[in-house]
Amino acid sequence: GSGKSSLLWALQGSGPRKSGTVRVVSGGMGGSVSGTGPGGSRRPAKGSDPKNLSAAEARALVGLVPQTPTDLLYLESVKQELDQADIESSASASDGGLTARVILDRLAPGIDGGAHPRDLSEGQKLALVLAIQLTAAPRVLLLDEPTRGLDYRAKTQLISMVDELAAGGRSVVISTHDVEFAARAADRVVVMAEGDIVADGPTTEVIVASPVFAPQVAKILSPLPYL
């Protein structure tokens, strides 16, 4: 009830906004970059608001994975979902683009294309939806409660995915109640309560400083600033 999900949907452009503005930079740090996305689609100019863009342009700027990833899965097989993502993002292996299948194999190798998406494990469903969203090559990826239903191994895999995305120059914004996950995955933490920001800063400072939010390791090693 703090407004985390509402914030992500507002950033993505589909959610309601009462005030303020959203500007998402499409290029690299420190530069105003206007280029092309998958299949030659136009990249939005620096500082664009996804709400004011076409569906294709918005997908190339911001991708969102909702709390229940299966909300975005509606076809009868993994292959159909991947092929549809390629069509919508104009992604083709023949022109050097990254197809959804290639991205999925990087995130979670070995998923059978003939499998029904709803028969996959929670971690595999998340990887499939991530691959679908990443086919459009968005500069910003929003993850809403991505650790729901994941075991420790799947969470560790998700952290590796997030690290890889960040290393590739993407911004990843995660809404979560999982403090242990945030401590391992984030370099900046914003704490919200009833729609307001109550803390904002580097992960080690925000989480370690709070007796409420600090993970067990931080509590044991306090006052040392370790997570």
pLDDT, tens digit, 9 for 90 and up, residues 38-81: 444 444 446 889 999 988 888 889 999 998 888 999 999 999 99
The CATH number of domain 4-177 is 3.40.720.10:
no
DSSP class of residue 76?
S
Q: What percent of the chain has pLDDT over 70?
A: 80
Other CB atoms closer than 10 Å to residue 175's CB: what's the count?
A: 20
What are the residues facing 46 on neighbouring strands? none
Backbone angles phi, psi at 197, to 5 degrees: -85, 120
Whether the pTM exceeds 0.85: the reply is no
Backbone angles phi, psi at 185, to 5 degrees: -100, -25
Closest CA to 183 of 153, 162, 154: 162
Cβ atoms of 183 and 207 within 8 Å: the answer is yes
Looking at mean pLDDT, say which of 16-30, 39-53, 137-151, 213-227 comes out highest: 137-151
C-alpha 127/C-alpha 109 separation (Å) is 10
- Sign, CA dihedral 42-47-52-56, equals positive
The reported pLDDT for the residue numbered 161 is 84
Residue 85's Cβ-count burial label (10 Å; 0-12, 13-18, 19+) is: buried
